[in-house]
Amino acid sequence: MTGSARRHGEAVAYRAEHLRERLARDDLAELGVQIDLHGPVAVLTGTVTTAACREQVLSIAAEELDGLPWRHDIRLAGVLPPPEGDLEDLP
C-alpha cells in the first residue's frame, strides 16, 4: 500500500468512526445502522423504523463522509398494522 492509499484509508476509517459516534449520540440514536469499510468505500447497512429516519441517517452520512466514496443499504422495518380482516376479537 502506498503512502497516499494508506492516508486515504485512514481518512475513511477516521470519518466512518466519527459518523458512528454521531449517529449514537444524536437524537436519532439509530444503533441498528452498521458502518463497514470495504477497501476505500464506507458502506452503511441496517434497518431503521421510518423513511424520515433513513433520510436523516443518509443526510448525516453525506455530511460526515463528504468527498469520500460511500454507499448504503438501509432498509425500513416492516412495522405496519395488520389488515382489518386479520384482527382478532379477544374476550
Strands across the sheet containing 41-48: 33-38, 41-48, 70-76
Q: H helices within 1-90, ranges in order?
A: 3-25, 51-64
What does the DSSP 8-state code read for residue 82? P
40 confidence band (pLDDT: 50, 70, 90) = confident
**How far is the C-alpha of 70 from the C-alpha of 15, rounded, in Å?**
11
pLDDT of the residue at 27:
65
Residue 69, pLDDT > 60, answer yes
Higher pLDDT: 15 or 27? It is 15
